[in-house]
Amino acid sequence: IEGASFLFLNEYELALAIQKTGWSDAEILDRVEVRIVTLGSDGAKVEARGKETIFVGVPKEKARVDPTGVGDSFRSGFIAGLAANLSHERCAQLGSMLATYVIETKGTQEYHFTRAEFLTRFESAYGAVAAKEISDHLGRFGFDASL
């Protein structure tokens, strides 16, 4: 944990880290640059020392089929956003959108969408400004046409 640039945890893992290290919630945050905690159906929060906490909600699900791989897909979307130099808020939104596609399908990589479908759902969840900010980067993520 000490010195990590980004620490990704879910609520259970955060509680376990507090228990196992003996550090408080604040002490764990003090040891990393950015901490991202996924909150299940409540979304995610992004925390950094001395900065306001960012809360990102979860896009509306069409169905809840299989939670396997949801955390991994959230992280992959977040990290893809980092690679594109997007804000932490946009990174968390990308991760949440991708995680929503994963939970709607059986299996971790069985989801399919087009670039247009992704952007439409993203805009519906997070607004036109957010969708515009990510749209130019989708090609670099492999979202060119149909996935």
| Catalytic positions, written as ranges | 72
Burial 54-92 (b: 16+ CB within 10 A, else e): bebebbeeeeeeeeebbbebbbbbbebbbebebebbbbb
DSSP-derived secondary structure letter, 133: H
The label of the residue with tokens 């509680």 reads 15
Strands (E), 12-102: 34-38, 44-48, 54-56
